[in-house]
Structure 1
């Protein structure tokens, strides 16, 4: 069987709430979900999720190839764009193709991808993460209560602008998850909005408030090796980062400098990327944790990683037109038996119900504020 072509489409995910982080919030709660479908001469089709705007430039590396060679074709795609580099939207295209190749590989074996990748268990431990920065306190509590009803014992909140608000919400979510565990895991994600000194001061304040933080996520810029290492040395909690790094070579400086304690990967960067980063972390006795994305496609690879400590689960519903064979239950993801990623795309429904370009609205979390990382004190609430 050979890869012969592709189709590209975009559906929408209606989260039913504002979603975002310290960098911005999508008030409509509607975000775009790009879908890549790889075609073959055997009739099977592979599904890849994530932005892939550079697909036309990358596709030549896999055209006419056997999809069962997915890891080798990943290297072939990187070689194909060697001169111009593979970061940004180019890596998104590499990743979407890679995900679709693995989907095809498992479908050719007539088994779910988690089985093809060697996992012994279909269950993937997770943590709740509601992209909650734009919610008021009542909506915040209601959202995490819904996660708690699904058995979650760990939660991550979005913060970084107002440390008092962050502390209040960490205590609030501790109480909610405390219904399921006497010691729930708590994580704070500030999405690169602090500088090193600010991070150290704020983490000391969190510790002084009696909060046992499991990890601080992206406290400073993703490439700030010295800053991340300094935060890790100063804080009791772990430092987690890596979701925005594209390619194993971008992790090497952080790993060599002991600047990361929980190695994260972006779920939109593909199966082969996750596997290689997970192995690099495993060699150093570090845990790996993939961040969330619509449909949780990397959960299949996470199920087979020996050092995986938990996958981010961001919502309890699926994007429009996607039927996904998995269940959110028991504090994680229960993967199904449908071959491949278990994703069925209803293209006719997507064409009919397409809800618009919600993600790329001005001020969304894709846009970094001008003052991010420059504040020395939290914004807090204005005194009137």
Structure 2
């Protein structure tokens, strides 16, 4: 079987609530979901998820190749773009192809991807992460009660602009999840909003009230020395890595002792996650995949020896995608459908209107000019 071509589609995920973090909130709760379909001459189609704007430049590295040679093809894609670099949109394109290749490899074996990757158990433990920054207090509590109802005893909230609000919300989640555990795991993600000393000071105040499991992205993603300073000052673990796009970007953080929970973003693909997980394992560190639509990395997470928990953001799926998973018992129960277990309704996608505004000027995910410079908490009127 050979790879012959690709089709690029776009659907949406309808969250039913505002979603976002301190850098921006999507108020209508509708986000775009790019879908890559990798074609073969054998009648099978591979599914890859995530932005892949540079697909035309990367695809020649895999065209005409046997999709089962996934690891070799991953390196071939990196080699294809070595001169101009593999970060950003280019790495996203490599990842979408990589995900589709793994999907094809498992489909050719007629087994779910978790089996192909060597997992023994289809259940993947996780933690709740509601992208909850834009919710008012009542909606926030209601959301995390729904996670508690599904057996979750660990959760991550979004914060970073008002430490008092962050503490209050961590206490709310702790009380809600206590129905499932006497000591729920509590995490705070500030999405690079603090500077080094702000992180140390704020964490001291949080840890006087909360048994914090980890602080996520306290400072800029590349600041190895800053991460190390925070790790030494705090009892909580420091988690980072979701925005890093190559092993060479992880090594300064690990070498500096600046990361305790090594994260990998789902939009960077299966092979990337596996390699990051093994580097982390070699340094005695746990790994945690950051969530994305349909939880594609859950299959890989099920097979690595140092997975501490997968982030789970919602109970539903993007429009016109049927996903063979269940969110139960505080994690993901993967199904038996071959490959990633994702079926794409191309007709439905073609008939649906494409979402607008995700990339509009001003957000979301536009870093605030006050990040790391704020002397007092952001006014409550802005932190909805």
Q: Could you say which TM-score interval applies, normalised by the shorter chain?
A: over 0.9
Q: What's the secondary structure of 1:251's corresponding residue?
A: helix
Residues 1:64 and 2:55 are matched in the alignment: no
Superposed, 1:244-283 pairs within 5 Å as 244-283=243-282
Shift of 1:380: 4.4
Shift of 1:358: 4.2
Q: Deviations over 1:11-42 (max 9, x none)?
A: 00010000000001011100000000000000
Q: What's the secondary structure of 2:101's corresponding residue?
A: helix
Give the whole-Å Cα distance in 2 for the aligned partners of 1:351 and 1:54: 22
Give the whole-Å Cα distance in 1 for the aligned partners of 2:277 and 2:131: 24
Give the whole-Å Cα distance in 1 for the aligned partners of 2:377 and 2:253: 27
Partner of 1:53: 53
Give the whole-Å Cα distance in 1 for the aligned partners of 2:285 and 2:169: 28
Residues 1:288 and 2:287 are matched in the alignment: yes
Bigger shift: 281-290 or 352-361?
352-361
Give the whole-Å Cα distance in 1 for the aligned partners of 2:47 and 2:107: 11
Give the whole-Å Cα distance in 2 for the aligned partners of 1:106 and 1:341: 8
Residues 1:307 and 2:306 are matched in the alignment: yes
Partner of 1:349: 348
Root-mean-square deviation (CA, aligned residues, Å) is 0.9
Partner of 1:20: 20
Superposed, 1:105-116 pairs within 5 Å as 105-116=105-116
Partner of 1:319: 318
Residues 142, 239 of structure 1: CA spacing in aligned structure 2 closer, same or farther, 3 A cutoff?
Answer: same
Superposed, 1:28-107 pairs within 5 Å as 28-107=28-107
Shift of 1:381: 3.9
Q: Deviations over 1:212-247 (max 9, x none)?
A: 000000000000011000000000000000000001
Moved over 4 A (4+): none
Residues 1:242 and 2:241 are matched in the alignment: yes
CA contact (8 A) 2:144 2:176 kept: yes
Give the whole-Å Cα distance in 2 for the aligned partners of 1:30 and 1:211: 33
Q: Deviations over 1:304-336 (max 9, x none)?
A: 010001000000100000000000000000000
Give the whole-Å Cα distance in 1 for the aligned partners of 2:154 and 2:244: 24
Give the whole-Å Cα distance in 1 for the aligned partners of 2:133 and 2:9: 29
Shift of 1:378: 2.4
Partner of 2:205: 205
- The TM-score normalised by the length of structure 2 is 0.98
CA contact (8 A) 1:28 1:358 kept: no
Structure 2: unaligned runs, 5 residues or longer = none
Give the whole-Å Cα distance in 2 for the aligned partners of 1:56 and 1:224: 33
CA contact (8 A) 2:294 2:323 kept: yes
Give the whole-Å Cα distance in 2 for the aligned partners of 1:133 and 1:36: 30
Residues 1:161 and 2:166 are matched in the alignment: no
Q: What's the secondary structure of 1:34's corresponding residue?
A: strand
Q: What's the secondary structure of 2:68's corresponding residue?
A: helix
Shift of 1:355: 4.3
- The TM-score normalised by the length of structure 1 is 0.98
Residues 1:147 and 2:147 are matched in the alignment: yes
Give the whole-Å Cα distance in 1 for the aligned partners of 2:150 and 2:364: 27
Partner of 1:135: 135
CA contact (8 A) 1:22 1:365 kept: no
CA contact (8 A) 1:25 1:363 kept: no
Give the whole-Å Cα distance in 1 for the aligned partners of 2:18 and 2:122: 31
Shift of 1:197: 0.2
Shift of 1:356: 1.4
Shift of 1:352: 1.5
Shift of 1:365: 3.4
Give the whole-Å Cα distance in 2 for the aligned partners of 1:381 and 1:53: 37
CA contact (8 A) 1:95 1:270 kept: yes
Partner of 1:125: 125
Residues 177, 259 of structure 1: CA spacing in aligned structure 2 closer, same or farther, 3 A cutoff?
Answer: same
Give the whole-Å Cα distance in 2 for the aligned partners of 1:358 and 1:302: 32
Q: Deviations over 1:161-185 (max 9, x none)?
A: 0000000000000011111110100
Q: What's the secondary structure of 2:262's corresponding residue?
A: strand
CA contact (8 A) 2:10 2:354 kept: no
Q: What's the secondary structure of 1:341's corresponding residue?
A: coil
**Residue correspondences, number:** 381
